[in-house]
Amino acid sequence: MDQLRQGRFVLVYDNDNREGETDLIIAAQHITPDSIKRMRKDGGGLIVLMVDYIIAESFQLPYLTELYDKASNFYPVFKEVAANDIPYDSKSSF
């Protein structure tokens, strides 16, 4: 926790039975262009910002899976990348 408070990245391994991935995590208040660059370079994949449900609702933010569903009507490739093979509820995570 001290590392997060100091604006440093921490590595968190989720679980062999989940995704088996290690995530780069940093506290949002410490995000800089350089930290975004590091996440893209060293982490790859998605860059995710966690917000409280009430905040997301007030901004009418959809779940990523809802965006993929709508976009797949125009861009069929989104059907390929939609989270349909993860061992947990995609809406609870993205």
Assess whether pLDDT exceeds 90 at residue 29.
yes
The boundaries of the domain holding residue 66 are 51-94
Q: Phi then psi for 90, rounded to 5 degrees? A: -60, -30
45 shares its domain with 56: no
Query: Does one domain contain both 94 and 55?
Result: yes
Q: What is the pLDDT of residue 62?
A: 87
Provide the domain count of the chain. 2
Q: Which pLDDT value is given to residue 86?
A: 55
Express each pLDDT in 31-82 by its tens digit: 999 999 999 998 877 888 888 889 989 999 988 878 888 888 888 888 777 6
Alpha carbons 59 and 42: distance in angstroms, whole number: 30
* Token pair in block for residue 84: 């349909």
Q: Are residues 55 and 86 in the same domain?
A: yes
Regarding whether 86 and 44 lie in a shared domain, the answer is: no
Domain match, 69 and 85 both: yes
Judged against a pLDDT cut of 90, whether residue 2 lies above it is answered with: yes
Local structure of residue 4 (DSSP, 8 states): H
Residue 18: both structure tokens together: 């989940």
Q: 0.85 exceeded by the pTM?
A: no
Does one domain contain both 46 and 57? no
Q: Say whether both 42 and 13 belong to one domain.
A: yes
Burial class (CB in 10 A: 0-12, 13-18, 19+), 39: buried
- pLDDT of res. 83: 61
